[in-house]
Amino acid sequence: MPPTTVITDEIGPLLSEGKQLADKLKAEGVQTDSNNYVGVTHGFSVWAQLFSWRRVLKHTR
């Protein structure tokens, strides 16, 4: 498998599954980076992108 990044959030329904996946990949020898973002909820990356785009759109009008 190619190198893999597993991203989890502290307040999300998939935190334990994400950690298990990262551990399993590492145990199988897959180069794995795992990042847990503390204090955020499931879907935080979508919200971050939305607010980023709002800033871009605001400055192009």
pLDDT of residue 38: 86
Counted domains in the chain:
1
Over its C-alpha atoms, the chain yields an Rg (Å, rounded) of: 15
Contacts of 24 (CB under 8 A, 6+ apart): none
The whole-number pLDDT of residue 10 equals 87
Query: Could you tell me the residue range of the domain that residue 28 belongs to?
Result: 4-60
Contact between residue 35 and residue 29 where contact means Cβ atoms under 8 Å apart: no
4-61 pLDDT, tens digit per residue, is 999 888 888 899 999 999 999 999 999 999 988 888 888 777 777 777 655 555 554 4
Q: Residue 6: in which H helix or E strand, if any?
A: strand 4-11
- How many Å apart are CA 18 and CA 23, to the nearest integer? 9
